[in-house]
Structure 1
Amino acid sequence: MHFLWPQFLWLMAALPVLVLLYVLLLRRKKKLAVRYASLSIVKEAMGTRQFRRHIPPLLFLLAMAAMLLAAARPVAVVTLPSNQQTIILAMDVSGSMRATDVQPNRLVAAQNAAKAFIQELPRHVKVGIVAFAGSAQVAQLPTVNREDLVTAIDRFQLQRATATGNAIVISLATLFPDQGIDLAAMQTGRERPRGTAIDSDRKEKKEVAPVAPGSFSSAAIIMLTDGQRTTGVDPLEAAKLASERGVRVYTVGIGTVDGETIGFEGWSMRVRLDEETLKAISNKTAAEYFYAGTAADLKKVYSTLSSKLTVEKKETEVSALLAMAAAALALLSAGLSLFWFNRIL
C-alpha cells in the first residue's frame, strides 16, 4: 500500500495526544469521585464495569485513525471485476490434433474445453474464434451469442501445417479492424513501419503509439496449439505486435513435449510441442503459458483462464472504504455509549 497524499500522515500524531487527554480526564474524574462521602456513590461515579466504559472511546479512536488514513488517499492492490470485453480463442486445427494421447483426441478435448470455457464467461463478454493450421481465418467474429460460438467450434476441419504467428496476427486484426494490420504484407516481408495504421482505402493514418505490454485490459487472446510453427509469420514477431498494443496472449500447449510421430490414412508426421516459443510469446505480452497433458488438465486450464479474465488485480484508491469503516466505527461507538450509559461518550 502507498499513499497519494503522504504528507497528511503526520496528522496521525494527533492520536497519541487524544489517548493522553483521555487518560488525564479519567484521572480527573477519579479525583472528583473520591470526594463523595458514600462509597456506593463513589463506585457509581467511577463506574463498576471498568472495561466496558473504555470500549466506545476505543472505537471512536479507531474511527479517527481510519478517517486520517483516508485523508492521505491510500492506494492498494485489490481484486475487482474485470472490464474485459472481448476474448479471441485461437485454436489449432492442424492434422496433429487428431492424436489420441489426449482422449478422445486432442481436437475433441480442445473443443469440449473451449465450449465449457465460453459458458463460464459473463454474458456481456464477447468471444471470437480464430482457427489456424497452415493459414489462419476467423471462424466466428466476436459475439455474445454462445450458440454461434459453439457452432463455429463444432465446424472445425483439420488441415496441414501450423502457423502460430498467423493466428496471433489474425486475432489482432479482428480486435483492431481499423489499424490496417496486414498479414499478407508481413508474410512477404513488406510489413509497414511498426506503429502505422491505415484506413479501408489503404491511406496512411496517424501513428499508433506502442503501449506497455498487457496494459490493454479490454481484450485478450488465448492461443491453443499442439505443435511448433512450420509456416507463416514468426510467432515472436506477431507477439511483439500484440505487446505493442498492450494485448495479452495466453498460450496453452497440448500434446507431447518430446515429440511424437502421428500416422493417418497412409501418411505420417512428426509433431513436437514448442514450449519454449509459447512461453516466450506469453512472457513478451505479459501473459502466462499453460501446459495441458490430458483432457482434464485442459479443462482445468480453461477454468483457470476464466477466473483470471473475469477478475483482475490492480492498484485502486481505497479512501472510500476507509471512510466507510470510520463512519461505521463512529456510529457503533455512539450507539454503545447510548445503550450502556445513556450518553454519547
Structure 2
Amino acid sequence: MTFIWPELLWLLLAVPLSAGLYWYWLRRRARAALHFASLGVVKEALSGRRQTRRHIPPTLMLLALGCLIVAMARPVARTALPFTASTVVLAIDTSLSMVAQDFEPNRLAAAQMAAKQFIQQRPAHTRLGIVSFAGTAALVQAPTADAERAIEAVDALRLESMTAVGSGILVSLKTLFPDEEMDLMAVDPRVRAKDDRNGARSLDEGGRKEAPKAKVNRPGSYSSAAIILLSDGQTTMGPDPIEAARMAAERGVPIYTVGVGTTEGRIISLGNYRFNATLDEDTLKEIAAITHGEYYNATDAAALVNIYRNLNAKVLIDRQAKEISALFCAAAALCAIVAAMLSMLWFSRVA
C-alpha cells in the first residue's frame, strides 16, 4: 500500500499523544477520588468489569482517529483483476539453433510444450496470436479465443535459418495494431543506410511516403495486450530489436522476454554446418526494460514450463491502483458509532 500524501502520516503521532493524555486524565481523576467521603463507593465504581468497560469507548475513538488520519493521507492499494478483454501474442523463435538438445527433446519442442500449456491454462476470454520468426517473421495464427486453433499453430512451427528478433516484435505489433503503419526505416539500419545513400526525400520530392505516427503512450500502459517473446539466439538480420522495442513502448505494449540457453552458447551441428548458438541476454533484458515487461531465463524444459505458468498469472491479471481512503473513513465512522453506542449503553452518556 502506498500513499498520495504520505507526509500527513506524521499526524498519526496524535494517536499515542491522545492515549497519553487519556492516561494522565485517569491518574488525575484517581487522585481526586481520594477526597470523596466514602472511598468504598469510588472503589466499587472503578473496579471489576465496569473499570474495563470504561476504557473500551476511548480506545475505539483512538482507532477512529487513526483511521481518519490514514484516510487523509489517501492510501492506494493495487488490486488484481482479471482482464475483461485481452490479447496476448506469443512470438516464438524458430531459427535453426532451436534444434539444440540441451532441452528435452530439443529447444523448439520444449518451447512448443510450454506454449501449449500456457494456451490451455489461460482464461477463456483471452485471445492468443502466434508469431513465428527466424530470418523473417510471420503471423501463423491471428488472435483467437479458440485454444485448439492456437495449439495447432504452435504444433505447426518449423525451423528456418537466421534470426530476426526485431521482425518478430514488429509482426507482433502489427498483429495488435493492424490499422497502423510500421515505419521500417526507423528500426532497420539497412533500410536507413540505403535511403541515406539514395537521398531519401518526401513524397512531394519523389521520395518515400512517411508512415503516420502512432499515438505515444506510457510504456506498459496498454493493459489490454502483451507480447511474450521467446528466443535462444542473437539477431543476425532484420530490424534492430531495440528500436522495435521502442515502437512497442510508444504504444504502451509490454514485452515479456524469455531467453533459452546460455550466454556461453552451444555448438550446433547440422550436417557439414556447425555454429555456436549463444544467447543475447543483454538485448532481451533491454527489450523487457524498455517496454516495462520482464525478462526470464530458462535453463531447461521444466524451468521453461514454470516461466510460462508464471507469465499466465502475470500477463493475464491486471493490477490496478485504487485509492481506498473511503474504506478507512468507513472504519473510522464505524469505530466512532460503536464507541458512542457502548458509552450510552453502559454509562448513559457519550463521553
Q: Structure 2 length normalisation: TM-score? A: 0.79
Question: What fraction of aligned residue pairs are identical, expressed as a percent?
Answer: 43
Residue of structure 2 in register with 1:242 after alignment: 248
Change (3 A) 1:336 1:136: farther
Return the alpha-carbon distance in structure 2 between the equivalents of residues 337 and 96 of structure 1: 77
1:147-186 mapped onto 2 (5 Å cutoff): 147-182=148-183
User: Which is further off, 311-320 or 269-278?
Assistant: 311-320
Q: Structure 1 residues 52, 229: CA separation in 2 closer, same or farther (over 3 Å shift)? A: same
Deviation per CA, 1:270-321, whole angstroms, max 9, x where unpaired?
Answer: 3221112212212222222211110011112112222322446565322023
How far did residue 213 of structure 1 move?
Answer: 2.5
Change (3 A) 1:22 1:225: same
The amino acid of 1:278's aligned partner reads L
Q: Shift in Å at residue 109 of structure 1?
A: 0.9
CA contact (8 A) 2:141 2:153 kept: yes
Provide closer, same or farther for how the CA distance between residues 300 and 14 of structure 1 changes in structure 2, counting only shifts above 3 A.
Answer: closer
Secondary structure at 1:324 match in 2: helix
* Residue 221 of structure 1, CA deviation: 1.1
2:335 paired residue among 326, 329, 336: 329
Say if 1:15 and 1:65, in contact at 8 Å, map to a contact too.
no
Report how far residue 105 of structure 1 moved.
1.3
Sort the Cα spacing of 1:77 and 1:17 in 2 relative to 1 into closer, same or farther, 3 A: closer
Q: 2:226 aligns with which of 220, 228, 252?
A: 220
Equivalent residue of 1:189, what SS? helix
Distance 2:159 2:342 in 1: 72
1:270 counterpart letter in structure 2: N
Q: Is the 8 A contact 1:29 1:46 kept in 2?
A: no
Q: 1:250 Cα deviation (Å)? A: 1.4
Contact 2:18 2:62 in 1 (8 A): no
Q: Which residue of 1 aligns with 2:264?
A: 258
- Counterpart residue type for residue 98 of structure 1: V
1:8–1:257 Cα change, 3 Å: closer
Equivalent pair of 1:236/1:281 in contact (CA under 8 Å)? yes
* Alignment partners' CA distance in 2, 1:339 and 1:147: 66
Which of 305, 308, 326 is residue 302 of structure 1 equivalent to?
Answer: 308
Q: CA 1:33–1:2 in 2, change beyond 3 Å: closer, same or farther? A: same
TM-score computed with the length of structure 1 as normaliser:
0.80
Equivalent residue, structure 1, for 2:203 = none
Out of 271-280 and 324-333, give the one that drifted further. 324-333
Deviation, structure 1 residue 69: 2.8
What is the DSSP-based 3-state SS (H/G/I as helix, E as strand, rest coil) of the residue aligned with 2:181?
Answer: coil
Query: What is the CA RMSD across the aligned residues, in angstroms?
Result: 3.6
Q: Which amino acid aligns with 1:248?
A: P
Give the corresponding residue for 1:279: 285
- Are the counterparts in 2 of residues 9 and 69 from structure 1 also a CA contact under 8 Å? no
CA distance in 2, matches of 1:163, 1:108: 20
Higher deviation after alignment, 101-110 or 148-157 = 148-157
Offset at residue 7 of structure 1 (A): 7.2
Question: Which stretch has the larger CA shift, 141-150 or 328-337?
Answer: 328-337
Give the distance between the partners of 2:322 and 2:186, measured in 1 at CA: 42
State how far apart, in whole Å, the 2-side matches of 1:277 and 1:132 are.
Answer: 16
Q: Hey, what's the Cα distance between the residues in 2 that align with 1:163 and 1:314?
A: 34
Q: 1:36 to 1:127 in 2, by over 3 A?
A: farther
Aligned residues: 334
Letter in 1 for 2:226: A
Give the equivalent residue in structure 1 for 2:235: 229
Q: Residue in 2 aligned with 1:198?
A: none
Deviations 1:8-59 (A, max 9, x none): 98698598468747854785588479646472x3333224243443123212
Alignment of 1:102 with 2:103, yes or no, is: yes
1:79, 1:313 within 8 Å by CA — same for their partners in 2?
yes
Q: Is the 8 A contact 1:259 1:270 kept in 2?
A: yes
Alignment correspondent of 2:57? 56
Checking the alignment, whether the CA contact within 8 Å between 2:8 and 2:73 is kept in structure 1 is no
- 1:270 counterpart = 2:271: no
Offset of 1:167 from its aligned partner? 0.3
Q: Is the 8 A contact 1:113 1:299 kept in 2?
A: yes
Q: Distance in 2 between matches of 1:62 and 1:221?
A: 47
Mean Cα displacement is larger for which, 41-50 or 162-171? 41-50
What is the letter of the counterpart of residue 106 of structure 2? N
Q: Which amino acid aligns with 2:76?
A: A
SS in 1 for 2:335: helix
For residues 199-218 of structure 1, the aligned pairs below 5 Å read 207-218=213-224
Change (3 A) 1:11 1:271: closer
1:29-178 matches, cutoff 5 A = 31=32, 35=36, 37=38, 39=40, 41-49=41-49, 50-70=51-71, 72-76=72-76, 78-81=78-81, 83=83, 85-178=86-179
